[in-house]
Amino acid sequence: MPEFISVSASSYDPASLASKLSEKSAEGWQVVAIVPTGGDITAFLSRGVQATTATATAAAPAQFAPTPTVITTSAPSSVAEPAGWGTAPAQAVPQAASTVPTITTSATPVSVSGTPAGWYHDPSGRFELRYWDATQWTEHVSRAGTQFTDPPVA
């Protein structure tokens, strides 16, 4: 069974990490991965377990050497993402419509008012202002800057 350790160095001084890795390599350690961790660079190392006492040597009949294991994973074929974390998958492009939409016009003419939509003096006199939507008076009214709802009187 292998044992693992980690060695860290400042990302501003990668030469110190190289010297630490050289020391550990002489002790039989192998680099598993090197990853950025905040402002540091951390290297993960592994080696086979070495017995330090005579009793541990007698109990263990054989020394296990790390053997590389190939692990294959199949990525889902429906997802295609670019490499790297934090990248979003490409947006799916919508399919073009097979037919051209037909635009129909209304047979009833729309009345055009000469007065634009806005707040005007309330014709019923119950409130200070009433909202005109360019075609009819609405239920939206106002008195002293406070808005209310009041159905219009015909």
pLDDT at 29: 93
Q: Please tell me the total count of domains within the chain.
A: 2
pLDDT at 30: 93
The answer to whether residue 102 sits within a structural domain is no
Beta-carbon contacts of 136 under 8 Å, excluding residues fewer than 6 positions away, are: 152
The answer to whether residue 21 sits within a structural domain is yes
Domain that holds residue 131: 118-147
Grouping H, G, I as helix, E, B as strand and the rest as coil, residue 58 is helix
The answer to whether residue 65 sits within a structural domain is no
Q: What is the pLDDT along the chain (154 residues), one digit of tens a residue?
A: 889 999 999 988 888 989 999 999 999 999 999 999 888 999 999 998 865 544 444 555 556 566 666 666 655 555 555 566 666 656 666 666 566 666 766 555 555 568 899 999 999 888 999 999 989 999 999 999 899 998 876 6
pLDDT at 54: 43
- Tokens 């947006």 -> residue: 91
Q: What are phi and psi of 90, to 5 degrees?
A: -65, 145
* Listed residues 59, 86, 107: the one ending a domain: 59
